[in-house]
Structure 1
Amino acid sequence: MIPEEERKSMLRAHSIGPTMIRYLEEIGIERLADLRGADPHEIAMRMNIALGRRHINSLGVAALRNLIALAEREAP
């Protein structure tokens, strides 16, 4: 489960909302630092597998790219 402070930090990324955070939890990402150096397409693929269908589209990948950029700027 993502701690509340991490959740607040993640929500600061453009286009990231509660649903995307829930998807991150489903694939085991619990901290912003977990996303440093991540590939947004790989994260999207993992989410799609967890959801059992292709759900994360190009806008979702762009949102993940924003979240990864935030992680690289701010995560310890």
Structure 2
Amino acid sequence: MAEIRIEIPKELEEEIKKLGEKEVNRIVYEALKDKISERLLFKIADQLLENSELNDEQIMKLSDKIKERIAERHGIK
């Protein structure tokens, strides 16, 4: 597995130490996985819509559905 080095802002150092390495690794892993998944979803949506003849209203409805699915995936909704 590849390794990533991150710099922790000074104001977060103490909290990071309290969490411990294992928990911090889990948090960083989940955050990266979620962000990459989100970007891939938008990349796929862009590719699907690239030659689309959808009107603005149809695009907005599709956009709302995508946002809802992302929110559900992240437990926001």
Which protein has the larger Cα radius of gyration, Structure 1 or Structure 2? 2
By relative contact order (CA 8 Å, sep 6+), the higher-ranking structure is 1
State the TM-score, normalizing by the size of structure 2. Answer: 0.34
State the TM-score, normalizing by the size of structure 1. Answer: 0.34
Structure (1 or 2) with the greater helix fraction: 2
